[in-house]
Chains A and B, each alone.
Chain A
């Protein structure tokens, strides 16, 4: 494997210009969050940065006292875990179906992705009206239903990527050695898919944890985290919201880091290490 870029020679300033713009993009994406993290270490009631010597976890300790926050956290964890536990196997099943389809592949893929394109507000509105007619009382169950719809396309794509990387010969070999199709699936396909399934679970959990628009329409009596936070942000209230937002960001980034590390470290026996297929 070469570690050089594709274009190696002289670029007439292109490399410099494009590197600067890339840095600008990363700044726009990360600077506000970094600022929030630093501001959350300010022990004063006022917002703003303080000298590093005065950094303090005052507001983080104050979080521990917040009862309503604990309730929202519990609700979000429940919804997130339930969503991920449903989306991961259903996504895997969709990916397996896709690999075995012939004529209907394109349409099936479009149907899978379709949920990504509908604004959350509208999906939430449609679901809440429908569930109302069905007679389902809003609770963590209705939010989970909405979040399953939201996360399934991502779970399916992550599973598809994993499935496409499995060497067909690994499964053929298992079958030659006398394994039945179910045996080969359990002993070969599933273990090779482990990293992708973990990532699929992690991503679905995080997407659910941070989802606001659908939950807004589907929520019962107990707010989820983003709903609780939105209220706190607009009431201009206590400084704990900075500490809390920061904590959510740090935890999200840590979990997503695990998800990526899983995907990156999945090179193992039986995986297809060839270049990705090109459309010829």
Chain B
């Protein structure tokens, strides 16, 4: 709608100093507190531990990166990525139908209510929600009690808690909204006449869904998958509260390394993760341009 944009540009948002000035505070925060610390720890990951100051000294070394491959650290990386991928897959499988229900099958009022219900947990404590799962999944928890009183099992199911199952379940419950919301935003961009046209031409619901709707919301699906994957690979509380004995994650590994003050190694782990996430986001952005999703918010 060029007319609107033009009108806006000419009217401005009222007060209009140079956009650079307005952008300055946020850029200072994001660059100064976000990018620069990450660049610094990436640099420091090539330094060495200093026994005198109990900190680091500028003696360049690749020792930390060699240490990444020791003590099963590579396995922790792979396991974290695997659990995050599993979480993202399960979340996406639930999110596509749920977002379709919100975006296609309910009226605007109920859709707004559902969207609010899917957004609210985001503003509540993930820690408390993981803790609540621990109460439900335990040996004497409500789920085991129900299974036993229904006669489905004779003894408490042990793998419900302190297992990969519990971790993935906790993460799906925590991050499901991240998968649903991008798809709902993608639905908002679909021209309804396309759907009506397909139905007028005799397409059934499933044909319309698979040939018209799903291809149109695919960028939202991929963005949601990535959101969940990225958040799940970086989280630690689900693993700490719900994981089995000896369960680790990248965050826990960083914490363990810091306990023995091995700062360069902690920085190296962080640098590898950030580098991989940046690559992932660049590739996904190139292929699918998920940033276009925000257009449906009118931004």
- Residues in chain A within 8 A of chain B (CB atoms): 1-7, 9-12, 14-15, 17-19, 21-22, 24-26, 28-33, 35-36, 39, 47-49, 89-91, 93-94, 96-101, 106, 108-115, 117-123, 125-127, 129-130, 132-133, 145-146, 148-149, 152, 156-157, 160-161, 163-166, 168-169, 171-172, 174-175, 181-186, 188-189, 203, 206-207, 209-210, 212-213, 226, 229-230, 233-234, 241-242, 245, 248-249, 252-253, 255-257, 259-260, 264, 272, 276-279
User: B208 contacts which chain A residues (CB < 8 A)?
Assistant: 7
- Sample 14 A-B pairs with CB under 8 A, ordered by A number: A2-B108, A6-B105, A6-B192, A25-B118, A36-B128, A36-B135, A89-B25, A100-B9, A112-B26, A164-B297, A168-B8, A181-B16, A210-B125, A278-B189
In the complex with contacts A47-B135, A97-B26, A22-B101 CB distance below 8 A: yes
> What does the 1/0 interface line of B203-237 toward A look like (CB < 8 Å)?
01110110000000000000000000011011111
User: A3 contacts which chain B residues (CB < 8 A)?
Assistant: 107-109
In the complex with contacts A122-B38, A149-B30, A207-B123, A110-B236 CB distance below 8 A: no
In the complex with contacts A96-B22, A230-B127, A264-B112 CB distance below 8 A: yes
A197 to B67, CA, bound (A): 48
Contact among A181, A212, A264 for B127, CB-based, below 8 A: A212
Flag if A7 contacts B105 (CB, 8 Å). Answer: yes
Flag if B29 contacts A152 (CB, 8 Å). Answer: yes
Q: Is B41 an interface residue (CB 8 A)?
A: yes
- Residues in chain B within 8 A of chain A (CB atoms): 1, 4, 7-16, 19-27, 29-31, 33-38, 40-41, 44, 55, 94-95, 97-98, 100-109, 111-112, 114, 116-121, 123-129, 131-136, 140, 142, 169, 172-173, 176-177, 180, 188-189, 191-192, 195, 199, 204-206, 208-209, 230-231, 233-237, 240-241, 250-251, 254-255, 258, 263, 266-267, 270, 273-274, 277, 281, 285, 291-292, 294-299
Flag if B251 contacts A119 (CB, 8 Å). Answer: yes
Known contacts A146-B33, A160-B297; can you find 18 more A-B pairs with CB under 8 A?
A: A2-B108, A14-B209, A15-B105, A17-B97, A25-B180, A29-B177, A35-B136, A49-B142, A108-B23, A114-B35, A119-B233, A125-B41, A129-B267, A189-B13, A212-B126, A256-B124, A276-B298, A278-B295
Nearest-CB distance from B218 to chain A (Å)?
14
In the complex with contacts A18-B98, A207-B123, A276-B297, A94-B12 CB distance below 8 A: no
Closest 10 interchain pairs by CB? Answer: A119-B234, A185-B14, A185-B15, A126-B37, A32-B132, A97-B22, A94-B26, A97-B23, A184-B14, A210-B125
A14 to B22, CA, bound (A): 48
User: A257 contacts which chain B residues (CB < 8 A)?
Assistant: 120
